[in-house]
Amino acid sequence: MAKLVLLEGMLSSSSNDSDSDESIDSESWDDIFEDDDKNHQCYPLRPIPRVDNFMENVVARYTDTEFQENFRLKRTTFYYLLNILKADMDNFDEFGHPPIAPEKQLCITLYVLGTPDS
Kindly state whether residue 40 falls inside one of the protein's structural domains.
Answer: no
Same domain, 26 and 60: no
Give just the sign of the alpha carbon dihedral 68, 71, 77, 78: negative
Angle formed at CA 107 by CA 106 and CA 113, multiple of 5 degrees: 90
Residues of the chain with pLDDT under 70: 1-41, 91-94, 118
Give the C-alpha distances (Å, rounded to integers) separating 25 from 3, 12, 20, 31: 15, 15, 10, 10
Alpha carbon 99 to chain centroid, angstroms: 20
Average pLDDT taken over every residue of the chain: 77
- Which domain, by its residues, includes 104? 54-114
Phi, psi of 111 (to 5 degrees): -65, -45
Residue 65 has a pLDDT of 96
**Domain total in the chain:** 2
Instruction: Tell me the pLDDT tens digit for each residue of 87-109.
Output: 888 766 667 778 888 999 999 99
> What DSSP designation does 39 have?
T
- Residue 90 has a pLDDT of 72
